[in-house]
């Protein structure tokens, strides 16, 4: 017996060890290769599980249907970058769809997305999902429709109710091309009720073209409707918004409506709005609250507001350079219609015909510490040649003789740490006017380190130079002697820091450094009980993230404690939030139980005549019940009460009632009796003269041609009175209809 026990323990140990190895392997995720293992990209995705990576070899993959992630938290990446791996819609279908609540862990990396075709999102369609799209080229796609009267949206990308991350991507030469008698919105990208993070992207050569006559083309490059999108370190260049002959063309580069976008360190240049009502060559903001920081807006064209057009909008324009934009009327720089933006630390120069134009008396901008050609009232404003390095060559850095140096306001709340180039914005407690801080040529340089991912930065990731003071991500350490320096990264709980780097600093330059932390991660799986609540909408989330279905697994969770909470479901008592501990390389599982709430339902039927005639009721698809019956143990929530049909009565409409926990819900169903009329004619007249008459259901005798009213709908018996010398007609069955006169006749014979 002792020997068997020892063997059993050894077997158990080996089994557990094997299971741990399998779990660790699963946690790391499998790698699936296309076309080595699966012939198509979709087949590779279908075979993947959360946490897996699908690697796609070089080649052009012709599609007849869109590729979809199906809600999986996986990475789909090319083997050798976008130039070598192409997903082609063949101008027959859109290329990609994210509409299954994908989150940031659903990653698309390193593809060319081209020749997609659909009325919304020719290249990529995103709905209620927030994937990560990085290092991609999205080109030559089209939002179009062959039919009439169909508006089109988002040639390259269409996004609704989502917050995707779009990073280091090129969105070029896409079109939103409306069919006849329709409008086009967002040639490059269209976002509705969305807050995307667009970083280091190039949005170029896209067009939004409305059809003939009065239709609009808006947002040649990007269209924002609602949401709070952020655009950083990006270029919006050479995009066109074009309306019909009499239609509007607004926002060649950017169009935003009812939105609060933020633009930082961006270039908005060479865009145009053409045809009819053309406004906002660079950007057009309607009923919006944009923030434009450290950006260059140049060489845009439109009828009004060549650079920026504000309509019914409040905006912050800070440390921007707005130069060489051309309008045919209104303002070449900033055009205001019922708008009062705050413009500070900015240069408005060489815009044609004016720098700032107020279209109405309600527009009252606040302009301060800015260099405005022709001058403008406001604190700290100047009207002096800014002395760019080269206006002709579009180099808007400042020369050492520029009056804009050290002339800005350092007290404003939205002053950023860095300028357009990433150099320190405030130096020696002063700030310059314009997008660029002047850099004194010295024998010194600087280092700027950017740490990723953002969650590591939030967790406390920092860096230093030569064992000096710890710095935050994005900070710049200036006045470093030209030569070699060592950059190291701070150790933080739950993360593996990158190795120290040897960095060469050059005179007068800021050397960029990137440090990527690797998170120590595990997985979490939550099961909801009972099974009925899953179909009723039971969901769970971890740390306030996306709602997940029962049995789903969230991958790449940082090691440590997390809070799991549950979605309220009508008619159920929600479990309380729970704390779970995730371990490195393991899947943590837990179960939560909802409790169904119960109540009662009582239904009364009237009038009594309907009840006597057989009127009854039932709840949902249950059994028929008598009037006044109370049913217990009814699940809290909405239910359907229906009533049994009874001849001669109009059945009450179906009712939707809400049953509450531990309460009796009462309802009433009222039947309405159906009434009609009957007219009976007797022939011949001689029989009538001899006393022939008729009655209904044994009632009083009636003369020929009399119409009886108030008869219940349904079948009735007509009888005829004997007359001397005449053969009486047989009884007749007649059917009375609601609100109608039914006719019948009786013929006597001698």
* DSSP secondary structure, 272-283, as one string: EEESSEEE-SSE
Q: Both ends of the chain: CA-CA distance in Å?
A: 115
**What pLDDT was estimated at residue 65?**
97
Is the pLDDT at 195 greater than 80, yes or no? yes
Helix (H, G, I), strand (E, B) or coil at 225: strand
| Helix or strand (DSSP H, E) at 749 | none
Out of 3.40.50.150, 2.60.40.1120, 3.60.20.10, 3.40.1010.10, select the CATH number for domain 674-747.
2.60.40.1120
- Bigger pLDDT: 244 vs 347: 347
**What pLDDT was estimated at residue 394?**
86
- Per-residue pLDDT tens digits for 306-357: 999 999 999 999 999 999 999 998 889 999 999 999 999 999 999 999 999 9
- Per-residue pLDDT tens digits for 201-217: 999 999 999 876 657 78
What residues does 644 pair with on adjacent strands?
none
- Per-residue pLDDT tens digits for 648-660: 898 999 999 998 8
- Bigger pLDDT: 214 vs 90: 90
User: Domain coordinates of the chain in residue numbers?
Assistant: 104-385, 444-518, 520-595, 597-672, 674-747
Among 131-145, 662-676, 713-727, the range with the most confident prediction by mean pLDDT is: 131-145
Mean pLDDT, to the nearest integer, of 710-728? 90
| Separation of alpha carbons 46 and 69, rounded Å | 8
Report the length, in residues, of the chain.
750
Residue 315 in contact with residue 337, Cβ under 8 Å?
Answer: no
Quickly state the pLDDT bin for 19 (edges 50, 70, 90).
Answer: very low
Q: Which of 84, 93, 89, 75 is nearest to 32 (CA)?
A: 75
Q: How far is CA 128 from CA 104, 152, 426, 554, in A?
A: 12, 19, 40, 18
Is the pLDDT at 675 greater than 80, yes or no? yes
Lowest mean pLDDT across 256-265, 274-283, 570-579, 639-648:
274-283
Maximum Cα–Cα distance for the chain, whole Å? 139
Is the pLDDT at 270 greater than 60, yes or no? yes
Q: Scanning the structure block, which residue is given the tokens 């057989």?
A: 614
Quickly state the pLDDT bin for 18 (edges 50, 70, 90).
Answer: very low
Q: Where are the beta strands (DSSP E) in 347-443?
A: 347-349, 356-358, 366-368, 371-372, 388-390, 395-398
Tokens standing for residue 271: 């865009």
Tokens standing for residue 18: 């094997």
**The domain 444-518 belongs to what CATH superfamily?**
Carboxypeptidase-like, regulatory domain (2.60.40.1120)
Tokens standing for residue 243: 């309306």
- Per-residue pLDDT tens digits for 153-162: 999 999 999 9
Q: Which of 104, 103, 67, 105 is nearest to 85 (CA)?
A: 67
| Separation of alpha carbons 730 and 745, rounded Å | 11
Mean pLDDT, to the nearest integer, of 575-602? 91
- Residue 42 has phi, psi (to 5 degrees) of -65, -40
DSSP states along 409-462:
-S--TT--SB-TTS-BS-BTTB--SSSS------SEEEEEEEEE-HHHHHTT--
Pairing of strands 235-237, 217-218: unpaired
Quickly state the pLDDT bin for 739 (edges 50, 70, 90).
Answer: confident
User: What CATH number does the domain located at 597-672 have?
Assistant: 2.60.40.10
- Bigger pLDDT: 413 vs 185: 185
Is the pLDDT at 443 greater than 70, yes or no? yes
Quickly state the pLDDT bin for 393 (edges 50, 70, 90).
Answer: confident
The yes-or-no answer to whether 597-672 and 674-747 have a common fold is: yes
Tokens standing for residue 208: 């939004």
| Separation of alpha carbons 677 and 703, rounded Å | 15
Helix (H, G, I), strand (E, B) or coil at 282: coil
Alpha helices in 543-619 (DSSP H): 608-612
Mean pLDDT, the chain, whole residue set: 90
**What pLDDT was estimated at residue 395?**
84
- Per-residue pLDDT tens digits for 611-650: 998 999 999 999 999 999 999 988 888 899 999 999 889 8
Quickly state the pLDDT bin for 518 (edges 50, 70, 90).
Answer: confident
- Per-residue pLDDT tens digits for 414-434: 899 999 999 999 988 999 999
Is the pLDDT at 15 greater than 50, yes or no? no
Tokens standing for residue 727: 């053969």
Residue 377: count other Cβ atoms within 10 Å of its Cβ: 8
Which top CATH class is 520-595?
Answer: mainly beta
Q: How far is CA 312 from CA 284, 339, 340, 362, in A?
A: 11, 5, 8, 10
| Separation of alpha carbons 502 and 511, rounded Å | 12
Helix (H, G, I), strand (E, B) or coil at 685: helix
- Per-residue pLDDT tens digits for 538-556: 999 999 999 999 999 998 8
**What pLDDT was estimated at residue 212?**
63
What residues does 134 pair with on adjacent strands?
109, 167
**What pLDDT was estimated at residue 435?**
97
Map 521-564 to HEC letters: EEEEEEEEECHHHHHCCCCEEECCCCCECCCCEEEEEECEEEEE
């Amino acid at each position: 017996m002792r020997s068997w026990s020892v063997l059993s323990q050894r077997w158990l140990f080996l089994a557990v060890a094997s299971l741990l190895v399998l779990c660790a392997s699963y946690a790391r995720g499998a790698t699936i290769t296309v076309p080595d293992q699966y012939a198509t990209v979709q087949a590779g995705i279908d075979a993947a599980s959360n946490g897996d990576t699908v690697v796609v070899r070089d080649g052009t993959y012709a599609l007849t249907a869109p590729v979809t992630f199906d809600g999986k938290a996986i990475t789909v990446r090319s083997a050798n970058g976008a130039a070598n791996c192409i997903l082609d819609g063949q101008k027959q279908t859109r290329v990609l769809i994210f509409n299954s609540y994908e989150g940031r862990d659903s990653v698309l990396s390193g593809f060319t997305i081209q020749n997609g075709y659909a009325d919304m999102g020719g290249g990529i369609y995103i709905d209620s999902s927030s994937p990560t799209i990085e290092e991609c080229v999205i080109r030559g796609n089209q939002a179009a429709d062959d039919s009439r009267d169909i508006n089109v949206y988002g040639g390259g990308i269409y996004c609704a109710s989502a917050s995707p991350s779009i990073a280091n991507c090129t969105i070029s030469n896409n079109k939103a091309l409306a069919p006849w008698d329709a409008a086009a919105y967002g040639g490059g990208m269209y976002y509705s009720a969305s807050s995307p993070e667009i970083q280091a992207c190039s949005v170029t050569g896209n067009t939004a073209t409305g059809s003939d006559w009065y239709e609009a083309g808006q947002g040649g490059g990007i269209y924002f409707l609602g949401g709070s999108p952020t655009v950083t370190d990006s270029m919006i260049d050479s995009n066109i918004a074009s309306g019909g002959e009499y239609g509007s063309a607004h926002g060649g580069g950017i169009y935003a409506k009812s939105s609060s976008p933020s633009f930082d360190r961006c270039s908005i240049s060479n865009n145009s709005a053409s045809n009819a009502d053309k406004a906002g060559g660079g950007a057009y903001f309607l009923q919006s609250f944009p923030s434009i920081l450290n950006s260059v807006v140049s060489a845009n064209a439109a009828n009004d507001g060549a650079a920026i057009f504000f309509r019914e909008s409040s905006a912050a324009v800070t440390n921007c350079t707005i130069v060489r934009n051309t309008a045919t009327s209104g303002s070449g720089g900033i055009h205001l219609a019922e708008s009062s933006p705050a413009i500070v630390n900015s240069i408005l120069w060489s815009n044609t015909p004016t720098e700032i134009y107020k279209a109405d008396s309600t527009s009252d901008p606040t302009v301060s510490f800015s260099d405005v050609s022709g001058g403008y009232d406001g604190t700290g404003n100047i009207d002096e040649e800014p002395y760019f390095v080269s206006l002709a060559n579009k180099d808007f850095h400042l020369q050492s003789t520029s009056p804009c140096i050290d002339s800005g306001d350092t007290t404003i709340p939205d002053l950023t740490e860095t300028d357009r180039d990433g150099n320190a914005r405030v130096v020696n407690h002063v700030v310059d006017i314009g997008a660029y801080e002047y850099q004194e040529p010295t024998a010194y340089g600087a280092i700027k380190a950017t740490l990723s991912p953002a969650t590591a930065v939030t967790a406390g990731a920092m860096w230093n130079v030569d064992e000096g003071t710890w710095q935050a991500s994005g900070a710049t350490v200036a006045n470093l002697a030209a030569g070699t320096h060592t950059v190291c990264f701070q150790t933080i709980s739950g993360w593996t820091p990158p190795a120290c780097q040897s960095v060469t600093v050059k005179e007068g330059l800021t050397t960029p450094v990137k440090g990527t932390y690797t998170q120590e991660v595990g997985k979490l799986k939550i099961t909801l009980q009972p099974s009925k609540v899953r179909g009723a909408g039971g969901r769970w989330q971890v740390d306030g993230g996306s709602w997940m279905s029962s049995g789903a697994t969230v991958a790449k969770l940082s090691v440590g404690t997390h809070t799991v909470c549950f979605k309220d479901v009508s008619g159920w008592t929600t479990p309380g939030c729970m704390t779970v501990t995730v371990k490195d390389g393991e899947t943590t599982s837990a179960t939560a139980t909802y409790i169904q709430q119960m109540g009662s339902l009582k239904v009364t039927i009237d009038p009594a005549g309907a009840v006597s005639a057989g009127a009854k009721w039932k709840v949902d698809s249950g059994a028929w019940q008598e009037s006044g019956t109370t049913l217990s143990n009814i699940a809290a929530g909405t239910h359907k009460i229906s009533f049994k049909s009874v001849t001669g009565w109009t059945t009450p409409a179906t009712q939707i009632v809400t049953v509450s926990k531990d309460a009796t819900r009462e309802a009433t169903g009222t039947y309405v009796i159906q009434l009609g009329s009957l007219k009976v004619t007797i022939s011949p007249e001689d029989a009538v003269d001899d006393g022939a008459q008729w009655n209904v259901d044994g009632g009083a005798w009636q003369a020929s041609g009399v119409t009886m009213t108030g008869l219940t709908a349904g079948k009735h018996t007509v009888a005829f009175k004997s007359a001397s010398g005449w053969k009486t007609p047989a009884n007749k069955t007649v059917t009375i209809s609601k609100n109608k006169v039914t006719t019948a006749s009786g013929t006597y014979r001698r």
